[in-house]
Amino acid sequence: MKYEYMKESEQMLQYFQFPKFLLKLRISQTAKYLYMILYDRARISRKNSWIDKYGNVYLIFPIDELSVQIGKCKSSIKTALKELDDEGLLVRRSGGFSKPNHLYVKIPSDEIGLQPVENKAVEKMALMESEKQPSSGRKNGCTGVGNVAPSKVTEKYKRNKYHEVNYYYGEAKEAYFPKGGFMGMKKHSRQCACDRKAYEEEQKYFKEKEHRELVSRNTSICFDESRMEEWTFENADMSDAVMHKAKSYVDNWEEMKRNHIGCLFWGPVGTGKSYIAGCIANELLKREVTVKMTNFNTIIDNIFPLADKTEYINALASYQLLIIDDLGVERNSEYALGIIFSVIDRRIRSGRPLIITTNLPLKEIKSETMLDKRRIYDRILEMCTPVYVGGTSKREAIASMKMEKAKTLLNTNRGKEECE
């Protein structure tokens, strides 16, 4: 590409708008660039009248295209999208069967200035409303607003941390204050009961749908193996004292999170330490808590080819709960120990809880003399409360059960062959 000096008469280059409020947020640079591009696409969508029945502007931008646009891998894009989700800057909703998701970009309430709406969008929204409402004043005992002219479409802003622009159609209606009133006032709505009930049911449906989609998306990000999704308290032996402690950790999650309290599950091989950690992860995922369960071998393999290792480590620190499985099985090279230290140290500075499982004896962890390991173990013990997981190896019990089952099946087949 050839470049020229700027001249006095030079036209402006094409550019993206980078909102200033992003500079104040503690999210990765990739997430900020991604928001900038999505915001630009949302402005185009608004001009093209991509507006849902609630008046919210949406856009469609497949991950493959985002990856090419930003120059990042799909994994980085998914992580950045999750950051925007967690921050409340992005809402993803299903576009329907075999259709791409609809993306809704949100903006801070205090950054909003009232802006004129495109006539094309107004006409589309008015048409949608006129089709939805009866032309006469009443239908089935309900008060309607009749056909609405585009000039009667007004903007209404829903105030929360981040904001979607809503467009309200038709005649102005009295505010509906829910049960208990608003600021000490009680007021009845002119909106009929059946319309209000239908609206509340629809909102409930979308809320539940968004919850299921969010849990499903977070679960797929959390685990490296799908079988871990079955590690739940419902499937566990709750007569185990350690399992009760794990359940108590989940029940007191807000307190644990506020005080940065984690757990170090240690004990012999095969006693169910990973399973216990997985149960905690799955239960918190149901509550829309972001969790990542991985191990240091995977982290080291993923981070090795990256030019910007800091961004990957910061992404791990952004999860509300990080679970590191099988501490001690990773390589003991200087490079590997350096990565492990960076992940643990960054996690401490993030102020978020950490859970670790290991086969290393607690005495060995506390008495480690090697400086590089000592720095790591000291930080782990600072964050995590040791919990011993003893008993017989569950893997041996499962293997013994499978062997007995195989013997039974083989002997049964042999008997059938002799009869024939």
Q: What is the mean pLDDT of residues 169-185?
A: 49
First to last CA, the chain: 80
Give the domain CATH number at 229: 3.40.50.300
290 within 8 A of 322, measured Cβ to Cβ: no
Q: Are residues 31 and 155 in the same domain?
A: yes
Q: Are residues 221 and 143 in the same domain?
A: no
- The residues, ordered by sequence, that sit 6+ positions from 396 with a Cβ below 8 Å of its Cβ are 270
Q: Are residues 220 and 147 in the same domain?
A: no
Give the domain CATH number at 159: 1.10.10.10
Alpha carbon of 129 to those of 123, 146, 171: distances in Å? 10, 9, 12
Strand stretches in 73-209, DSSP E: 90-93, 102-105, 107-108, 138-139, 142-143, 154-157, 162-163, 165-168
Q: How many CB atoms lie within 10 A of CB 118?
A: 14
For residue 205, the model assigns a pLDDT of 86
Q: Are residues 123 and 238 in the same domain?
A: no
For residue 70, the model assigns a pLDDT of 83
For residue 156, the model assigns a pLDDT of 39
The alpha carbon torsion through 250, 254, 259, 261 (nearest 10 deg) reads 10
Domain extent, residue 307, equals: 216-396
Q: Are residues 364 and 252 in the same domain?
A: yes
Domain-embedded: residue 5: no
* pLDDT(402) > 80: no
For residue 15, the model assigns a pLDDT of 77
Alpha carbon of 209 to those of 11, 94, 202: distances in Å? 47, 9, 11
Residues in the chain: 420
Q: Are residues 249 and 389 in the same domain?
A: yes
Q: Are residues 272 and 358 in the same domain?
A: yes
* pLDDT(150) > 80: no
For residue 414, the model assigns a pLDDT of 57
Strand stretches in 84-132, DSSP E: 90-93, 102-105, 107-108
Supply the mean pLDDT for the chain.
Answer: 79
Is the torsion defined by CA of 171, 174, 175, 178 positive or negative? negative
Alpha carbon of 28 to those of 73, 103, 146: distances in Å? 15, 20, 49
87 within 8 A of 27, measured Cβ to Cβ: yes
Strand stretches in 95-141, DSSP E: 102-105, 107-108, 138-139
Q: Are residues 392 and 254 in the same domain?
A: yes
Domain-embedded: residue 129: yes
Which letter does DSSP use for residue 235 in this model?
G
Q: Count H helices, E strands: the chain?
A: 14, 13
86 within 8 A of 26, measured Cβ to Cβ: no
Number of domains in the chain: 2
For residue 419, the model assigns a pLDDT of 53
10 Å CB burial of residue 113 (0-12, 13-18, 19+) is exposed
The structure's pTM equals 0.54
Percent of the chain past pLDDT 90, that is, above it, reads: 36
For residue 319, the model assigns a pLDDT of 92
**Tokens 């970009």 label which residue?**
105
For residue 380, the model assigns a pLDDT of 94
Is the torsion defined by CA of 242, 349, 105, 40 positive or negative? negative
Q: Are residues 116 and 224 in the same domain?
A: no
Residue that finishes a domain, picked among 171, 203, 230: 171
